[in-house]
Structure 1
Amino acid sequence: MAKAREGINWSDLGVEGLKLRGTATGARLMELPKATSPEKADQLAARLKEVLPPEVTVSRPVKCAEVRISGLDDSVTEADVRAAIARVGGCPEDAVRVGGLRFNPYTLGSICAKCPIPAAKAIGSNKLLIGCTSARVTLLDPRPMRCFRGLGP
């Protein structure tokens, strides 16, 4: 934290009212006020990556939604789905997490993906063109919160 304090000019970034918390894993969590734009959070994360040594992990969490994409043919790969979601949703490819493709013998394939909420809204309103197929997109309901030990509600 001392390197971050010395290496970053906080007034140039326009960051005021930063909250610092410790997490259960021992990491440090920096929270910007809710009125602050996501661009400032991205700038802060990029600046922290520059200043801190490479063994320090800097991440910028984003709220995500889950979608199911169905009607995929056999030639589609997970990388194709990730690229299509990023292209239509307007988000970077590393922000999209894609599960495994599932093929049923009687229907075409389907896949579940997690992407930022604005990207999920952009692709959820229309069909997604992946390769030469037009896939159906379904927004899934959020999963209920579960206890990490007993998986109870």
Structure 2
Amino acid sequence: MRQALSDLTVHIARPVKSGEIKVTGLDEAVTPEQIAPAIAGTGGCAMSDVRAGELRRSRSGMFSAWVRCPLTAVRKLHAAKHIVVSNWISAKVEVLEVRPMRCYRCLEPGHVGRQCPSENNRSDCCFTCGQKGHKAEDQVPGLCGPWQACQS
């Protein structure tokens, strides 16, 4: 296929089952572009298969990032438990549980927005606490959760 479509700008890929990990213990000097090669090197996968998210500050002041990569790499990273991001930064790797499907329209589990049977549209509410006026991504970790009201 690659030879037949070489003159076109077509990306040919095979679906790969992937998983998510959380990389913790990073400082503010690290970027997602530095995390991806460290994951690919330790996990034994291609860098194009690694998707590193934005860095988020935790309560301790250190940063963490969610990373999606192939399951074979997730297994290797779980066994290694740490990765070396740069010459002086070693980060901890945690395997994340599979997140359940959840609708962004009504905030109920088990379906997605296209098949939403509810007449309630809560897309302008916080995904974590369900309150209007802010989004979960705008919250500082720990302020918004089911155990306490939001501080918006």
Q: What TM-score, normalized by structure 1, do the two folds share?
A: 0.62
Matched, 1:140 2:96: yes
Point out where structure 1 has 5 or more consecutive residues left out of the alignment: 1-47
The CA distance in 1 between the partners of 2:114 and 2:97, in whole Å, is: 23
The CA distance in 1 between the partners of 2:75 and 2:116, in whole Å, is: 29
- Quote the residue 2:149 is aligned against: none
More deviation, 49-58/143-152? 143-152
Which among 98, 101, 114 is matched to residue 68 of structure 2? 114
Which among 114, 123, 132 is matched to residue 149 of structure 1? 114
Point out where structure 2 has 5 or more consecutive residues left out of the alignment: 102-110, 118-152
Matched, 1:64 2:12: no
- Quote the residue 2:44 is aligned against: 90
* Cα gap change, 1:151 to 1:140, in 2 (>3 Å): farther
Give the number of the structure whose residues are more often helix, by fraction.
1
Moved over 4 A (4+): none
Report deviation, 1:56: 3.6
Report deviation, 1:104: 3.9
The CA distance in 2 between the partners of 1:73 and 1:133, in whole Å, is: 8
Q: Which amino acid aligns with 2:56?
A: R
Matched, 1:51 2:7: no
Report deviation, 1:103: 2.0
Which among 83, 86, 97 is matched to residue 128 of structure 1? 83
Q: In the TM superposition, what whole-angstrom CA distance separates every residue of 1:79-137 from its partner, at most 9, and x where no partner exists?
A: 11000000001111001011111124742000000000010111122211111122111
Q: Percent identity, please.
A: 33
The CA distance in 2 between the partners of 1:50 and 1:57, in whole Å, is: 12
Structure with the bigger RCO (C-alpha within 8 Å, sep 6+) is 1
The CA distance in 1 between the partners of 2:74 and 2:39, in whole Å, is: 8
